[in-house]
């Protein structure tokens, strides 16, 4: 009896890309240069807007820096943190206290604020050695809730519940800028934009380094990482410290821009939720996600409030957030990346190009 072989099923055609770009090729460099030029023109355009809009973009830059710090811990290392408002607040109050009490120059307070928030990050990272997931989130949540209470108790240093006001004469632009006190808004715009670019470059270099590979390995499979010699404890604690320092840097810039601090204002649990919201909306573990997320959390409430007033504006804002999370679960930057990769593929220089 002859046995007939089953007919072979037609295989689905492999997805093909339309354009293939070799990494570090002239075309690749030209595209990068074009993107940088467009970004620079966008920042230049934003700086020419009305002072209110310039202030909104300054807030976006500061928020993006803070979200980058959160992204290193949660996005690239997989450690869920809801306590980054404490790092933000410690950096802000360190700058405020040094300016008001000790008459430091504003820029000179930034290294001290980063050092203190780095140490706090190391301490907050210690529980991550024994607990994971939601349990770690609860520990960081406790830090976020405790911070405003600590500020209230240290009334002689922080002003307590009444807050602290940094007078504008202390926050005037440095003389070498050629700007006067009335131009503090444009000074903070350019300073925040410069610091954001610097932090994005350093963050990208860190992620692409060997330590960044260790971070992602800890996130993806902690047991396998330990089996391959990755120092789990050192990686977790150190990334918490680096993340805290970056978020503290954002807090220092916040004080230099706002000039008024209150424990019930910008350092409560709502700030922590705002940072997490910006990270999720922008795209977890993406390079541009923090910037896009900061744009979302600053401008979305403003525009939803322009359509309606009162509690309905909050309902509309929540509905927009739900829609974005439903339509783009990978975040706005993540979805844009997927769409771009359908058209363009960037391959290493010695890597064979995929079929067209």
Evaluate whether 56 touches 220 at the Cβ level (below 8 Å).
no
Residue 265 has a pLDDT of 81
For residues 256, 184, 287, 33, the Cα torsion angle rounded to the nearest 10 degrees is -150
Residues in the chain: 356
CA 339 – CA 342 distance, rounded (Å): 5
pLDDT for residue 14: 47
Single pTM value for the model: 0.92
pLDDT at 59: 97
Domain locations along the chain:
19-171+179-347
Burial track 223-236 (b if 16+ CB lie within 10 A, e otherwise):
eebeeeebebeebb
User: Please, what are the averages of pLDDT over each run of 10 residues along the chain (356 residues)?
Assistant: 48 59 84 93 96 96 97 95 95 96 95 97 92 90 94 92 91 93 95 98 96 94 90 95 97 96 88 94 94 95 79 80 88 91 82 56
* CATH class of segment(s) 19-171+179-347: mainly alpha
């Amino acid at each position: 009896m002859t046995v007939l072989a089953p007919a072979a099923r037609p295989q689905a055609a492999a997805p093909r890309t339309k354009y293939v770009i070799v990494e570090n090729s002239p075309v690749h460099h030209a595209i990068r240069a074009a993107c940088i030029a467009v970004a620079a023109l966008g920042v230049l355009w934003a700086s020419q807007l009305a002072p209110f809009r310039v202030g909104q973009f300054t807030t976006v830059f500061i928020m993006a820096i803070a979200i980058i710090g959160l992204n290193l811990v949660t996005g690239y290392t997989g450690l869920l943190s809801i306590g980054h408002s404490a790092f933000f607040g410690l950096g802000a109050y360190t700058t405020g206290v040094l300016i008001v009490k000790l008459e430091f120059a504003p820029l000179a307070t930034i290294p001290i604020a980063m050092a203190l928030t780095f140490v706090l990050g190391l301490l907050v990272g210690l529980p991550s050695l024994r607990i994971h997931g939601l349990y770690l989130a609860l520990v960081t949540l406790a830090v976020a809730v405790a911070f405003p209470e600590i500020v209230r108790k240290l009334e002689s240093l922080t002003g307590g519940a009444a807050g602290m006001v940094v007078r504008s004469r202390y926050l005037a632009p440095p003389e070498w800028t050629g700007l006067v006190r009335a131009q503090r808004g444009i000074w903070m715009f350019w300073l925040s934009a410069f610091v954001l670019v610097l932090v994005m470059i350093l963050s990208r270099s860190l992620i692409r380094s060997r330590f960044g590979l260790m971070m992602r390995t800890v996130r993806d499979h902690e047991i396998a990482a330990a089996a391959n010699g990755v120092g789990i404890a050192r990686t977790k604690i150190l990334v918490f410290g680096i993340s805290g320092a970056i978020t503290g840097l954002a807090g220092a810039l916040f004080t230099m821009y706002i000039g008024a601090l209150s424990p019930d204002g910008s350092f409560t649990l709502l700030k922590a939720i705002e940072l997490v919201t910006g990270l999720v909306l922008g795209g977890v573990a993406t390079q541009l996600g923090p910037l896009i997320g900061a744009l979302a959390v600053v401008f979305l409430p403003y525009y939803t409030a322009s359509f309606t007033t009162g509690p309905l504006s909050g309902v509309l804002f929540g509905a927009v957030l739900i829609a974005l999370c439903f339509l783009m679960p990978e975040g706005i930057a993540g979805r844009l990346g997927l769409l771009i990769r359908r058209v363009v593929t960037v391959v290493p220089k010695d890597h064979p190009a995929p079929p067209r």
